[in-house]
C-alpha cells in the first residue's frame, strides 16, 4: 500500500485531502503545517507528498526546496496545492522542485489521476536507476555555443538532445551549463528537483556515479538531463575541475551528451569546449551576431581547436532583411553546416508550453531539419550501420537521406 503525506494548515482541506487519499488506497499521514510536515517526511518516508503553499512557519515552496536538497527525498513526488491560478505560482512551484501543481478547490477524480501519473513516473525512475545509466564506451559530446544570447542556443540543444535520444534509443544526456540563467528544465517542463549546484560540496576526487545519478532528471522523450540552478549564486562554488570530473564519469555511461553552454569563455565553458567532440557555433543573420561568431572562431583557433571540430549553424531569428548566407560564410571563412529557417511562432510556443518541437511534433519540417542534423552529428558507426530495430525517428531520417551517399550525409 503506497504511503502518502498530506500537509495543510486548513483542517477542513486537510481532512478532505486525507479522505480522498484513503479512498484511493493510500496509507495516509497528515501534518498541520510545513515544519511538522518536514518532520513527518523524515519519519514516515512517504511515497508521495501533497502540500499546501500558504502555511505559517514554513510554506510549501520552502518545504519542497529543502526536500530537494536532501538526496534521500530528491525524487519523491510532490504535488503542490494552491488557491492561486496565476502563471507566477506555477513558476514558483516549478523552481522549487515540485512535480505538479493543482488549484483549490479540486475534483477528487483529478487528484486521483495526477497522483497515479506521479507515482508511475517515480517508479519508472527507480527502475532506471537500479539498472544504471547505460554502458556506453564513451559519449560523443556536442557543445552548443555562442557569444551572443537570444539566438536559439537552448532551443537547439534541447531539440538536438531529443533527436539523438529518439534516433538511436540509447542513453543520451542534455546538460545545462548556463549558470546565470539556465532554461533547459523550463523548456522541458520539468521541476528543478536537483541541479548542478547540489554537487558543489563534493571535491572532484570524491565524485561518484551514485552522486551524479541524484542530479539527473528524466524527460518523457527518453532524454536525461542535468539542470542549471535558478540563481547564479547557487553555482558560485562549481569549478571547471569539478565539471571535468563529472563529464569524465558521465561519458562512460552515455552514448551522447549535448551541452547548452554560457555565452562566454568562463572556466566552466572552457572545460566543456575543451572536452567537446563537436562545437556547434550558433549565428543569426545580423552584424553583431556575425562579429561575435568571428570572435569565437578566433578564440577557438588560439585555443588550438581543430577547424573540423567547429560547425556553424545559422538560425534565422527574424523573417526579412537578414545578412545573406554567402556573406556570413565569407566573413567567417567557414561554410554554414546547417540552416534553421525563421519559425518564431513554433519555437516561442514550444518554449512557453515546455514541449520542444521535436517532442511535440517530430514530423514538422523544422523538426525534420534538426532530426537530420542530429543524424549527421552522430557517431560514425551509428550512421553507417542500420540498427537491428530501427526507431521511428531513424526511419524518418533514412527516408529523407536515402538518396544521398554516405559522404553526402556528413
Q: Is residue 407 assigned to a domain?
A: no
Final residue of a structural domain among 109, 131, 153: 131
* DSSP characters over 133-156: S---SSPEEEEEE-SSSSSSHHHH
Cell of 319: 523573417
The pLDDT of residue 134 is: 43
Beta bridge partners of 17: none
Contact assessment for residue 144 and residue 261, using Cβ atoms and an 8 Å cutoff: yes
pTM over 0.85: no
- 223: nearest Cα among 247, 179, 257, 262: 257
- 323: nearest Cα among 363, 347, 277, 291: 291
Contact assessment for residue 15 and residue 63, using Cβ atoms and an 8 Å cutoff: no
Both 145 and 94 in a single domain?
A: no
Cell of 43: 519519519
Both 178 and 40 in a single domain?
A: no
Both 146 and 283 in a single domain?
A: yes
Beta bridge partners of 283: 314
Q: Is residue 408 assigned to a domain?
A: no
Residue 67: domain span: 3-131
The pLDDT of residue 125 is: 58
Beta bridge partners of 260: 144, 176
Q: Is residue 171 assigned to a domain?
A: yes
CA distance 105 to 82: 9
Final residue of a structural domain among 131, 158, 177: 131
Contact assessment for residue 143 and residue 261, using Cβ atoms and an 8 Å cutoff: yes
List CB contacts of 4: < 8 A, sequence separation 6 or more.
21, 26, 27, 28, 29, 46, 47, 48, 49, 50, 115
Contact assessment for residue 357 and residue 159, using Cβ atoms and an 8 Å cutoff: yes
Both 237 and 310 in a single domain?
A: yes
Q: Is residue 360 assigned to a domain?
A: yes
Contact assessment for residue 239 and residue 207, using Cβ atoms and an 8 Å cutoff: no
Number of domains in the chain: 2
The pLDDT of residue 137 is: 56
The pLDDT of residue 409 is: 44
| Residue burial 78-98, b: 16+ Cβ < 10 Å; e: rest | bbbbbeeeeeebbebbbbbbb
- CATH number, domain containing residue 13: 3.40.50.2300
- 275: nearest Cα among 244, 240, 238, 306: 244
Both 252 and 353 in a single domain?
A: yes
Both 190 and 125 in a single domain?
A: no
| Residue burial 223-248, b: 16+ Cβ < 10 Å; e: rest | bbbbbbbbeeebbeebebebbbbbbe
- CATH number, domain containing residue 200: 3.40.50.300
Q: Is residue 200 assigned to a domain?
A: yes
Both 198 and 328 in a single domain?
A: yes
Both 158 and 274 in a single domain?
A: yes
Both 386 and 256 in a single domain?
A: yes
The pLDDT of residue 124 is: 58
Q: Is residue 81 assigned to a domain?
A: yes
Contact assessment for residue 58 and residue 38, using Cβ atoms and an 8 Å cutoff: yes
Both 112 and 198 in a single domain?
A: no
In 47-206, at which residue ranges do the beta strands (DSSP E only) sit? 48-52, 78-82, 100-103, 140-145, 172-177
Both 53 and 196 in a single domain?
A: no
Final residue of a structural domain among 131, 164, 179: 131
Both 186 and 77 in a single domain?
A: no
Cell of 4: 502518502
The greatest distance separating any two alpha carbons of the chain, rounded to the nearest whole angstrom, comes to 70
Q: Is residue 409 assigned to a domain?
A: no
Query: With the C-alpha atoms ordered 393, 395, 399, 405, is the resulting torsion angle positive or negative?
Result: positive
Q: Is residue 410 assigned to a domain?
A: no
Mean pLDDT by 10 residues, the chain (410 residues): 91 90 90 93 93 90 88 86 79 83 84 82 58 59 95 93 96 93 84 86 86 90 92 84 90 95 92 94 95 96 93 90 93 95 75 80 91 95 88 93 57
Amino acid at each position: 500500500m503506497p504511503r502518502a503525506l498530506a500537509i495543510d494548515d486548513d483542517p477542513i482541506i486537510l481532512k478532505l485531502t486525507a479522505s480522498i487519499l484513503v479512498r484511493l488506497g493510500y496509507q495516509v499521514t497528515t501534518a498541520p503545517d510545513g515544519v511538522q510536515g518536514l518532520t513527518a517526511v523524515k519519519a514516515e518516508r512517504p511515497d508521495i507528498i501533497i502540500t499546501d503553499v500558504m502555511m505559517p512557519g514554513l510554506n510549501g515552496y520552502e518545504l519542497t526546496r529543502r526536500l530537494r536538497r536532501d538526496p534521500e527525498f530528491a525524487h519523491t513526488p510532490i504535488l503542490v496545492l494552491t488557491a492561486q491560478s496565476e502563471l507566477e505560482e506555477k513558476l514558483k512551484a516549478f523552481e522549487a522542485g515540485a512535480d505538479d501543481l493543482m488549484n483549490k478547490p479540486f475534483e477528487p477524480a483529478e487528484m486521483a489521476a495526477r497522483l497515479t501519473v506521479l507515482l508511475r513516473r517515480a517508479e519508472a525512475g527507480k527502475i532506471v536507476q537500479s539498472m544504471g545509466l547505460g554502458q556506453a564506451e564513451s559519449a560523443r559530446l556536442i557543445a552548443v555555443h555562442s557569444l551572443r544570447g537570444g539566438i536559439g542556443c537552448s532551443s537547439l540543444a534541447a531539440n538536438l538532445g531529443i533527436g539523438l535520444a529518439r534516433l538511436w534509443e540509447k542513453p543520451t544526456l542534455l546538460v545545462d551549463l548556463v549558470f546565470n540563467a539556465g532554461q533547459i528544465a523550463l523548456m522541458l517542463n520539468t521541476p528543478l528537483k536537483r541541479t548542478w549546484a547540489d554537487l558543489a560540496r563534493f571535491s572532484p576526487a570524491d565524485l561518484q556515479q551514485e552522486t551524479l545519478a541524484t542530479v539527473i532528471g528524466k524527460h518523457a522523450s527518453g532524454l536525461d538531463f542535468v539542470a542549471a540552478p535558478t540563481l547564479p549564486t547557487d553555482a558560485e562554488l562549481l569549478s571547471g575541475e569539478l565539471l571535468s570530473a563529472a563529464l569524465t564519469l558521465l561519458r562512460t555511461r552515455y552514448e551522447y551528451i549535448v551541452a547548452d553552454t554560457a555565452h562566454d569563455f568562463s572556466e566552466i565553458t572552457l572545460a566543456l569546449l575543451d572536452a567537446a567532440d563537436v562545437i556547434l557555433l550558433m549565428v543569426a543573420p545580423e552584424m553583431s551576431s556575425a562579429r561575435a561568431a568571428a570572435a569565437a572562431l578566433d578564440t577557438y583557433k588560439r585555443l588550438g581547436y581543430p577547424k573540423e571540430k567547429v560547425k556553424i549553424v545559422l538560425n534565422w531569428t527574424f523573417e526579412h532583411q537578414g545578412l545573406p548566407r554567402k556573406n556570413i560564410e565569407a566573413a567567417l571563412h567557414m561554410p554554414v553546416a546547417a540552416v534553421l529557417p525563421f519559425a518564431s511562432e513554433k519555437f516561442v510556443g514550444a518554449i512557453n508550453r515546455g514541449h520542444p518541437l521535436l517532442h511535440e511534433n517530430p514530423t514538422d519540417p523544422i523538426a525534420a531539419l534538426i532530426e537530420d542534423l542530429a543524424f549527421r552529428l552522430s557517431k560514425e558507426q551509428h550512421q553507417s550501420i542500420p540498427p537491428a530495430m530501427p526507431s521511428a525517428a531513424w526511419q524518418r531520417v533514412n527516408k529523407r537521406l536515402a538518396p544521398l551517399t554516405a559522404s553526402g550525409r556528413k
